[in-house]
Structures are given as structure tokens and as C-alpha cells.
Amino acid sequence: MKAGSSQQNSVVFFVIFNLCVCVSCRLTELQVCKLCSGTVVNSTTVGHFCLLYGGRIDGRCCLRNDNTTEPEHIIGLDLSNCSLTHVEDLQEATTVKWIDLSLNPIVNISDTAFQGFIELNYMILPGDIVCPGGNTSWDKVEFKKGNCVCEGQKNMCNQTGQLSTNCPENSLCAPYGPGFFECNCADNHRGYKCLREGEFPVLRVFGPIGVSTVVISFLMWFTQRRKAKSL
């Protein structure tokens, strides 16, 4: 369970701004796409979905951007026949819709490996591996050609849309991956168990951090410039 607030958008923007001041913002290669050699083949399940949804193949990933303002994100991940024994950290692929982990000697999948994978809708696993979150977390679980197929991730929250009994007062339940949910503070509430009212004091909390970051960045730039001149 995870608490949050709809009023945190401004906080996120402010943090991202300061990170961009500290370091150069650039795209980095997604390591999960290179976990093993080879590329997604059109004849495979992920390859078929990728072609159907107009994605782009990059290693073991299918990438797509939904608009021109956002970077590409992973919608398909084919890690079949990669000699994987453990599945622990795939957090680069939280936007994925389809995953193929078949033909791997998997002995363990971390309980939190797919936490946050709210878009995940189709998985292919070795036949002796249980679907993440358990079979009750999926609309359909079946065995095909020796594999376990998990289809249609279920919403673990109260389907009525009302306040969930699993969340604190003044909060709402939201899906957070197979078998998981998170609790987001309702409007005008924040803090521990969403007990505080009012907007988060962004400037008071992050203002000093922003000022110090800018000052440090300027001093680093000034020092490098002086060294360059002395040379």
C-alpha cells in the first residue's frame, strides 16, 4: 500500500527542474531491453502485438510513444529463452502491456517484481510458475504449449469507486500492479494517512533546495571557467 496526493504534481515538476539544473538531461539506453541477446521477432506473441500497435523494436523491447511530447516507453518485453533463473528488477518496464518470460529456468520471481505494472495485461510464463499476485489477480489463467498464460490484470480496488475500506480515511484506492493497490490522498488532504488538510507547502519545503542547487551549479560553472582561462 502506498499513500500519495493529487496535489503532488507541482512537487514532481519542481524536483525534476532541479535535477535538470544539476545534470544534463539526456535519454539513456534502456538496460532491460539488452538483458539478453537477440531481438523481438514478428512471429512471436510480443512481436505480433508490437506490429499490431505500431511499435518499434529495440533489442528485446517494443517501444512506442503515444504523442510527440513524451519519450518512447516500453509496451512489450520479450525475455523468452534468456536463461533467467530469477526475476527481480524490471522497473524500467513499468509501462509494459505484454511480457514473455517463457523458456527460462526460472526458480523464483520476487513478490514485488511487478509492483507498479498497472498496464500489464498479458504474460507468458514457464508452466510451473504462478501468475504474479496469484491466479485470483487475473481474469484468465490457462496453460498453452507447456506455458502458463496470465491474461487481463484485475483491479484490486473496490469496484464501486467509493472510499476503499483497505485505505485510510480521506484516501482512494488505485491499482498498483498484479495483486497490489495504492492509497492516494483525496483532494485537499495529504501527509501521513492523509490526515492533513490543505495544499503541500512546495515553496517552503523545496525553495531552499532550489536556491542552493542553483548557487552550487553557478559556482561549479564559474570555477571551471576560471580554470579554463588560466590554461
Model confidence at 226: pLDDT above 90: no
- CA atoms within a 13 Å half-sphere pointing along the CA-CB vector of 182: 15
**How many domains in the chain?**
2
The pLDDT value recorded for residue 167 is 84
The answer to whether residue 12 is domain-embedded is no
The closest of 150, 128, 132 to 141, measured between CA atoms, is 150
Same-domain status, 190 and 136: no
Same-domain status, 136 and 200: no
* Mean pLDDT, rounded, for 148-175: 79
The answer to whether residue 121 is domain-embedded is yes
Around Cβ 224, how many Cβ atoms within 10 Å? Answer: 10
Matching residue, cell 512471429: 43
Same-domain status, 136 and 225: no
Around Cβ 128, how many Cβ atoms within 10 Å? Answer: 9
Domain final position from 153, 180, 214: 153
* Mean pLDDT, rounded, for 21-27: 36
Q: Which domain holds residue 129?
A: 35-153
74-89 pLDDT tens trace:
999 999 999 999 998 8
* Mean pLDDT, rounded, for 160-181: 78
C-alpha gyration radius of the chain: 22
pTM over 0.85? The answer is no
- For 76, 81, 167, 170, the CA distances from 37, given in Å and listed in that order, are 16, 10, 43, 48
Name beta bridge partners: 148.
125, 143
The pLDDT value recorded for residue 73 is 94
The closest of 213, 176, 169 to 191, measured between CA atoms, is 169
Which range, of 13-22, 147-156, 210-219, averages the lowest pLDDT? 13-22
Same-domain status, 120 and 66: yes
Residue type, 190: R
Residue 47, SS3 per DSSP: helix
B/e letters for 194-212, b = 16+ CB within 10 Å, e = fewer, are beeeeebebeeebeeebee
Residue 182, SS3 per DSSP: strand
Helices 9-22 and 202-230, packing angle to 10 deg: 10
